[in-house]
Structures are given as structure tokens and as C-alpha cells.
Structure 1
Amino acid sequence: MTIQLKLNEVETYIGQFHILQGISLEVRKGEVTVLLGRNGAGKTTTLRTIMGLNPSTKGTITFNNEEIQSLPTYSVAQKGIGYVPEDQGIFSELTVEENLKVAMKNESDSTKERLNYILNLFPDLKKFWKKPGGLLSGGQKQMLSIARAYVNDNELLLIDEPSKGLAPIVVEKVMESIIEMKDTTTIVLVEQNFMMASTIGDHFYIIDDGQTVQNGPMEVLKEDDEMRRKYLGIA
């Protein structure tokens, strides 16, 4: 299977703190790759480093066989990588419609098709089309954040903790939407909810103290109680 994204011994500092200390991973095209680990392990920093928001100081990041670690964030996005940050990153004062239009790179037929698809996937966005983003519920904001990244013809989506703070019924809806999107888009997912991660994920990487320490098919992790207990603190 085609390797779409590859990180090789990537290191990143935030100020004086050495956060990523040698992250290596491969993301296969058409799969959901889940990054797991305890809080503070470096999962979010890994996504931000891929996007150029926390530039790496060492190692290589390759997307579609092209090194991107030295590119500014806007150039990384132009390559076809969408990012859904942990804090959702929507514009609170703009309506749902305006949030999506600002996110669009163009208004091509393909973009319009993806917009229609995402509105059918998240009917609440259509219902509150003219409502300011700041007045949406937590679940609706998360849906809008995912929609903003998906509406463009991105080949890869980086999604950071989409279930955080959401009610179980909303988590199920977000899970269903990501499962549907994986048919057309490769996804790298950071997720603390192991039930969600194990249901959606095809492959996993465990990050511990800024390094990748374990990886494999998700089925392996689901069956390995000791690995889950050691690195994730769950039975």
C-alpha cells in the first residue's frame, strides 16, 4: 500500500522544551492512523509539526514523496493537508456559511460536491447555516471544524481529539462521519477515547516522551492488555 506521509526521526522544540525527540511513523493512503499516548506525550505537537506550526529542528517529513518539513504552514495546506485543531479553530463571529466559505480554496464543482456531502453528513450545519459559529453547541462546533478541513479536496486530514468534551451520542456521530470520510481521505487521528480510536483506526502509533515506541495494526493493540496498561493506563 502507498505510504502517503512519512516522518523520520523528527525533533521539535517549543521554546526551550524538547518536545519531539525522534518521531518516526508512516501513514498509508486510505487508512486511519491513530496517534495514542498519555497527555503531554507529544501527539498534538506531532500534528502541529507536520503542519509547520511548530517547525521541526531535525529529521524529515515527506508527503507524497516530497519533503515538506521546511515549508510554511500555508504551503503545507496547499499541498493537500487539512488540519482540525484540538480547539476547533472556527471563527466565532462568522456564520456557519461564512466559516465554510472562508475555508474554501475555490468554488469548483468538486468543492461544491464536497460541501453538499458534508452538509448531508452534518445536517445541523445546514440547519444553522446563518447562525454564528460561537453560538453552536460543542458538538456542532466540532462538526463545523471537521467540515472546514474536509470541504477542500485534501488528500490527508489531521484531526486532533475530535471527541474531547462531547456527549457520548455526539461522539458516535463524529465517529460515523470519520468512518465515512475515510473512503475518500487519508486520516491521522489523535484521540484519547480508546473506544473511538480502536473502532475507527486501521493502524496505531504510541508516542511516549516525544518518541514513537510501539506501532502496528489496531487489532494488535486491542488484544494486548499489557501494552495498553503500560502506555495508555487502560486495561
Structure 2
Amino acid sequence: MSELLRLNNIETYIGQYHILQGVTLEVKKGEVTVLLGRNGAGKTTTLRTIMGLNPASKGSIVFKGEEIQSLPTYTIAQKGIGYVPEDQGIFAGLTVEENMKVAIQKENEETHKRLDYILNLFPDLKKFWKKPGGLLSGGQKQMLSIARAYVNDNQLLLIDEPSKGLAPIVVEKVMESILQMKDQTTIVLVEQNFMMASTIGDCFYIIDDGRTVTTGPMKQLKEDEEMKRKYLGIA
């Protein structure tokens, strides 16, 4: 599989704090790459750095052969990277329909096909099409956030903690949806729920104290009890 995204020794500061101190990873087209690590390890900052929200102070980010680390966030988004933030990032005062319209960069036949696909994947969004986003349940808000990132022709989706705060039955629905979406796009997933991460992921990177410490196929990590205990706190 061809390389879609590469981070080379990325360092990022937030204020005076040196959050990322050497993150290197490679994302192959058509795979789900999972970023794992304890809380505060730098996983969310890695996604935000890719999007230019927390600019890198050192290193390079290469997307489809082009360095993007110095570009503004809106340009990075236009190049085909969709972002689902940890806090979902929807507009609570807008309806589901309006949230989707705001997200669409270019309205064309392909966009309509993607919208139809995502509404079939998340029928609750179609059901509450005219309902304000702020009145949706937690799971429905997460579905809307994912739909907003997917509706454009993005070659890469960055999804941060999609299971956070959701009931187990809703987590299963979100997991099933992402599994279907992986046939259509490449995904970088940050996820604390190891069951979900190990079911969806093709490969993993573990980040610890702002550095990439190990990587490999997800099957390898599932069988490595010592590594899970050491870096993830899974007994």
C-alpha cells in the first residue's frame, strides 16, 4: 500500500509546554492507523498538529508527497484531510441539515452521493434532520461530527476519541460505522477503548511522553500483554 501521510520527528509546543518531543509515523492508504498511549501522552496534539491547529516547531508533515506543516488549517482541510475533534465541534444552534451544509466545501454530484451514503450509515441524522445539533444525544452528536468530516472528498480522516462518554451500545454502532467507512477512506484514529481500537485498527503507534516509542500490526499488540501493561495500563 502506498504512503499517504508521514510525520518525521515532529515537535510541538503549546505555550511553554513541550508536548510533542519526537513523533514519527507513517499512514498507508486504505488502512486504519491507531494512535495509542496514556492520557496526556500527546495523541490529540498529534492530530491537531497535522491539522495546523498546534503548529509544529520542528520536523516535517508530508501529505500526498507535499510538506504541509507550514500551511494554515483551512488550506490543509482543502487538501483532503477531515478532522473529527474530541469535543465533536458541531454547531449546537444549527440544525443537522445546516451543520452539514456548513461543512460542505464544494457541492456537486459526488458530495450528494457521499451525503446519501453517510445518512444511510447514520439514519438518526436523517430522522433529526431539522433538529438543532445541541439537542441531539451524545451518540448522535458524534455521528454528526463524523458525517461532517466524511461528506467532503477527503482522502484522510483524523478521528479523536469517538467512543468518549458514549454508552456501550452506541460505541458498537459508531465502531460498526467506522468499519464500513474504512473501505472508502484512510483513517487515523485516537481511541482509549482498546476493544474498539483493536477491532478497527490495522496498525498501531504508541506515543509516550510526546514520543513515538513503538509500532506494528494491531494483531501483534493484541497478543503482547507486557506492552499493553507497560504503555496502556491494561492488565
Could you say whether these structures have the same fold, taking a TM-score greater than 0.5 normalized by the shorter chain as the test?
Answer: yes
Q: Offset at 1:234?
A: 0.1
Q: Offset at 1:85?
A: 0.1
Q: Alignment partner of 1:114: what SS?
A: helix
What is the number of residues matched between the two proteins? 235
Gaps of 5+ in 1: none
Q: Alignment partner of 2:126: what SS?
A: helix
1:212 is matched by which residue type in structure 2?
Answer: T
Tell me what 1:145 maps to: 145
Q: Which runs of 4+ in 1 moved over 4 A?
A: none
Could you tell me how far apart the structure 1 residues matched to 2:88 and 2:198 are?
A: 22
Q: Alignment partner of 1:45: what SS?
A: helix
Calculate the TM-score normalised by the size of structure 1. 1.00
Could you tell me how far apart the structure 2 residues matched to 1:72 and 1:106 are?
A: 19
Q: Alignment partner of 1:57: what SS?
A: strand
Deviations 1:174-222 (A, max 9, x none): 0011011110100000000000000000000000000000100000000
Could you tell me how far apart the structure 1 residues matched to 2:169 and 2:118 are?
A: 19
Could you tell me how far apart the structure 1 residues matched to 2:95 and 2:114 are?
A: 19
Could you tell me how far apart the structure 1 residues matched to 2:169 and 2:6 are?
A: 34
Tell me what 1:52 maps to: 52
Tell me what 2:180 maps to: 180
CA RMSD of aligned residues (A): 0.4
Q: Offset at 1:106?
A: 1.5
Q: Alignment partner of 2:118: what SS?
A: helix
Q: Alignment partner of 2:56: what SS?
A: coil
Q: Alignment partner of 2:166: what SS?
A: coil
Tell me what 1:26 maps to: 26
Deviations 1:143-198 (A, max 9, x none): 00000000000000000000000000100010011011110100000000000000
Tell me what 2:208 maps to: 208
Could you tell me how far apart the structure 1 residues matched to 2:123 and 2:67 are?
A: 38
Could you tell me how far apart the structure 2 residues matched to 1:171 and 1:184 are?
A: 20
Q: Offset at 1:107?
A: 1.3
Could you tell me how far apart the structure 1 residues matched to 2:78 and 2:100 are?
A: 17
Could you tell me how far apart the structure 2 residues matched to 1:123 and 1:32 are?
A: 24
Could you tell me how far apart the structure 1 residues matched to 2:81 and 2:177 are?
A: 18
Gaps of 5+ in 2: none
